[in-house]
Amino acid sequence: MLYREVGDFKTSYKADGQTFPIAFDRYRYYAVLLIAFALVPFLLNDYWVKAIVLPFLIYSIAAIGLNILTGYCGQVSLGSGGFMAVGAYSCYKFMTGMDIWLPFGENGESIQYALPPLNIFFSVILGGFTTALVGILFGLPSLRIKGFYLAVATLAAQFFLVWLFNKWSWTYNYSASGQITAPERLLFGQAITGPSTEPWATYLFCLVFVVVLALVARNLTRGHLGRSWMAIRDMDIAAEIIGVNPMKAKLTAFAISSFYIGIAGALLFAVYLGAVEVGEVYGIQKSFLVLFMIIIGGLGSIFGSFAGAAFMVLLPVLLKNVLVGQLGWATDIAAHLEFAIVGALIIVFLIAEPHGLAQLWRVIKEKLRLWPFPH
C-alpha cells in the first residue's frame, strides 16, 4: 500500500526523472526535511548536538564520500582519515588567513603575502576543493592498479598525509604544540566555531551541508557520471569497450569522493571538535571507521551511508549510557563490552544481511508495497 507507483501518473519527462519518483517516498523525504529544519533545532541541547547529532551528520558526509568511491566506483580506499585531515588543515589555513611565502632575492629571502581570513562557510568549501585536488593526485595510481593493491596505495596516502601535517609547520601556523585550534567565526552574526556556539547554529550549519551534498550525490549517481562509475565497478574492461573512459570515471570518483570527505574533515575539526591533532583524530582508525560505516550501511547507497554513520556513532553512545548510566557498571567493563557488542553486531549484520542496512530498508520497502495484501 505504501511506496506504490500505482496511480502515480507522470505526464512529463521532468516528473518522471525527479529525485524521488514515488509520491509517498517524496512526501516522506519532505517530512524528514521539515522536521530536521523546523523542529529539531528547537529541541537540541549541548549534549545532543556535541555528542550525537554533529558526529552523525559529519560522518554521514564522509560515508557518502567514501561510498561514491568504493560503493559506486569500486575503488577501495583506506585513505579517508588522511583526506579528512587535508580538509581540516586547509579549512584552518583559509579561515585564519592563508600566508604565502614567495622567494625573493638571491639569499633566499622571502616576502609574505597573507590572504584575509575567509568566512567559515567558504573555508569549509575550499577545504573540500583542496582535498579534491589531493584526491586526484592520490587517485592516479588507480589507473594502473586495482583491488587490494590500490587499497595499499591509499593506505600510503593515509600515512603520508598524517606525517606531512605533523612535519610541515606551515600547515598548523607554526604553533608549538602542533595542534590546530579553530578561532571563533561567525555566519550571519551567529558563532559557528569556537567555544560559545549555540547548539542550533552548529546543527543547522552542518545540516545544510549534509542535505545539499546528499542531494547532489543522489543525483550524480543517477546520472551519466554515476552510471559510468557503476560500469567501471561492475566490470572495467566491459565498461571501456562500451565507451566509458576509465581515466575520467576513476579520477572524477576520486575527486568528488575526496571533496565530500574533505568537507567532513573540515566540519569535524572546525565545528565539532574545535581543536585537533592530526595523528590522534585523523589516524588510520578513522579510515577504518568510515569504511565500516559504508560496509554496514550498504555499499552503493546514499541511505546506507546515513544508516551506517548512525549505527557507528549512536551505538557506542547508547551502550555506554545504558551500561554505565542505567545499570551502573564499571566504566572499563562497559568500554570493553562495548567493543565486543559492536564487533559482534557487525559480524551478525554481515552474515544476516551482507548488503548492509540499506538492503534491509529495501526489503522493508518491498514488503510495504504489498502490505496489507501480500498475495
Partner 1 sequence: MKLKTATAVALAAILGASPALADMVFPSLSYRTGPYAANGIPFADGYADYFTLINERDGGIGGVPIRLIECETGYNTEKGVECYESTKGEGSLVYQPLSTGITYQLIPKTAADGIPLHTMGYGRTSAANGKVFNNVFNYPANYWNGASAIVNHMLEENDGDVKGKTLALVYHNSAYGKEPIRTLEELSEKHGFELKLLAVDHPGQEQKSQWLTIRRERPDYVAMYGWGVMNATAIQEAANIRYPMENFIGIWWSGSENDVRPVGAKANGYKALNFHGVGDDYPLYDDLKEHVYDAGKAAGAGDQAGTVLYNRGVYAAMLAVEAAKNAQAIHDTKEITPQQMRDGMEALEMTEEKMAELGMPNFGPSFKVSCENHGGPGLVSVNQWDAEAGKWNVISDYSESDMEVVQPLIDEDSAAYAAENGIEESCS
Residue 359 makes contact with partner 1 by CB under 8 A: no
- As a whole number of angstroms, the distance between CA 116 and CA 180 comes to 18
Q: Which stretch binds partner 1 (CB under 8 A): 102-110, 146-154, 176-184, 224-232?
A: 176-184
Among 140, 235, 275, 348, binds partner 1 (CB under 8 A): 275
Residues 45-104 that bind partner 1 (CB under 8 A): 46-48, 50-52, 55
Residue 343 makes contact with partner 1 by CB under 8 A: no
Least distance between partner 1 and beta carbon 171 (Å): 14
3-state secondary structure of 276: strand
Burial of residue 74 (CB within 10 Å: 0-12, 13-18, 19+) is buried
Locate cell 570518483: which residue?
A: 253
Per-residue mark of binding to partner 1, 213-252 (x: CB under 8 A): ----------------------------------------
- As a whole number of angstroms, the distance between CA 373 and CA 375 comes to 6
Among 114, 152, 212, 322, binds partner 1 (CB under 8 A): 322
Q: Which stretch binds partner 1 (CB under 8 A): 127-135, 141-149, 150-158, 312-320?
A: 312-320
Nearest of 47, 89, 63, 53 to residue 281 by alpha carbon? 89
Least distance between partner 1 and beta carbon 173 (Å): 9
Other Cβ atoms closer than 10 A to 202: 24
- As a whole number of angstroms, the distance between CA 277 and CA 161 comes to 13
CB 204 within 8 A of CB 197: no
Sites of contact with partner 1 (CB under 8 A): 46-48, 50-52, 55, 166, 176-179, 181, 183-184, 194-196, 272-277, 279-281, 283, 310-311, 314-315, 317-318, 320-322, 324-326, 330-332, 334-336
